[in-house]
Amino acid sequence: MTSAPRPGNPQGAAARHAVIVAGPTASGKSALALALAQRLAGTIINADSMQTYAELRILTARPSDADLAAAPHALYGLNRAGAPGNAAWWRGAALREMESAASAGCLPILCGGTGLYFAALTGGIADIPDPGAEALAEADPQTASKLRPSDSQRLARAWEVWRGTGRGLASWQADPPPPPGDWRFTAILLDPPRADLTEAIETRFAAMLEAGALTEVQALLAQNLPPALPVMRAHGVPELSAYLRGETTLGEASARAVTVTRQYTRRQATWFRHHTLAPETRTRRIQSRIATTEQLSTDFLTDLEYFILQSH
C-alpha cells in the first residue's frame, strides 16, 4: 500500500500509509478498528497508555481472546505495572510495530484514546534523554512557571531532567522533534454524544465488576507499588482500592469510578476537537458511538474503507 511521493520525504521516497482510530473511552474504537483490520488486512497497534499494562486487562478493556484471534494486535499488555511508560517510549515502540506490520503486508491501524501519543507519533516529540533519578524554580524557572505546585510528578520529572542533563525540560521541548519517517496518516475520530458515552461507561463498569475487576485490583495492590505510578491511577483502581481497604462501599466506589471516567472522556473529546494530529492527516469525524462490531453496517464500513483507500 503505497502512494505518490510526499513533499519533503527524503530522496522522494513513497510515503507508507497508517490509519488512526481515536476517540474517548467507551466510544467504540476497538470494535471499529477490529472491523477495519478484518476488511483491510490490518494489524491493530495499541495507542492507549493504560492498555499496555499486563495486570489490568479487565479495567482497561483490553481486546478479548476472540478479538486477538480475529486480527493481529500489538503493544497490548506487554509492560509490567512497575514500568512508568511515556509518549517517547510508546512512539518508538509503535513505529517499530508499524514497520513490522508493513513488512508483513499489513496495514497499521493505531487504536486508542491517548491524544498525546498520537500527537507524538504524527508530529514528533522532543528527544529528551533519561536523566536518572535525583528548587526546580531556581534551576529551571521557564519550566517551573508552567507547572502547578500540586503537580508533584511533573515537577519531579522536570527536576530530574535539569539535574541529569544540565538543560531545562522547556529547553529540550523547544528542540525540533524528529519526523515520523516516511509515514502518512489517515484518522478516524469518534465523537459520540455525551449521553451515549455516560450510558456506555456505566454499563461497561458494571460488566467489569462482573468479570472480576475487584480481583484484578486486589492482585495489583498485593505488589505494594508506589501510588504515584501511572498504573495505580488507572480508572477504577483508586476507587476499588478504597473499597478493598474498607474506606467506602462498593456502590460509592463504582459511582466515583464512573464519574472520574466520564470527566476524563470530556477532556479526551476536547483534546481531539482542538488538536490537529498533523497538517497532512486526512480526518473523518464520526459523531455516534459504535457499540459492537456486529452493529457496524456494511455500507458504513464500505464508506470508511473507501475514505481510507483514497488516502493512499
Query: One digit per residue, pLDDT tens: the chain, 312 residues?
Result: 333 333 333 333 457 999 999 999 999 999 999 999 999 999 999 999 999 999 999 999 999 999 999 999 999 999 999 887 788 889 999 999 999 999 999 999 999 999 889 988 988 765 545 444 335 455 555 555 555 444 545 545 554 544 444 455 565 455 555 555 689 999 999 999 999 999 999 999 999 999 999 999 999 999 999 988 999 999 999 999 999 999 999 999 999 999 999 999 999 998 888 776 666 788 899 988 887 777 788 999 999 999 999 877
Which residues neighbour 232 within 8 Å (Cβ) at sequence distance 6 or greater?
81, 220, 225, 226, 238, 241
Task: Kindly report, as residue ranges, where domains of CATH 3.40.50.300 are found in the chain.
Answer: 2-125+177-310
Polymer length in residues for the chain: 312
Answer for the pair 167, 195: CB distance below 8 angstroms, yes or no. Answer: no
- In angstroms, the CA 308 to CA 32 distance is 13
Q: What is the pLDDT of residue 289?
A: 85
Which residues neighbour 32 within 8 Å (Cβ) at sequence distance 6 or greater?
21, 188, 190, 290, 296
Residue 187: closest CA among 52, 86, 278, 125: 278
CATH code assigned to 2-125+177-310? 3.40.50.300
Q: What is the pLDDT of residue 172?
A: 45
Express each pLDDT in 273-307 by its tens digit: 877 666 678 889 998 888 777 778 899 999 999 99
Q: Between 29-40 and 298-310, two packed helices, what is the crossing angle to 10 degrees?
A: 70
Q: What is the pLDDT of residue 125?
A: 67
- The number of helices, as runs of H, and strands, as runs of E, in the chain is 13, 7
Q: What is the pLDDT of residue 181?
A: 65
The total of other beta-carbon atoms located within 10 Å of residue 242's CB is 16
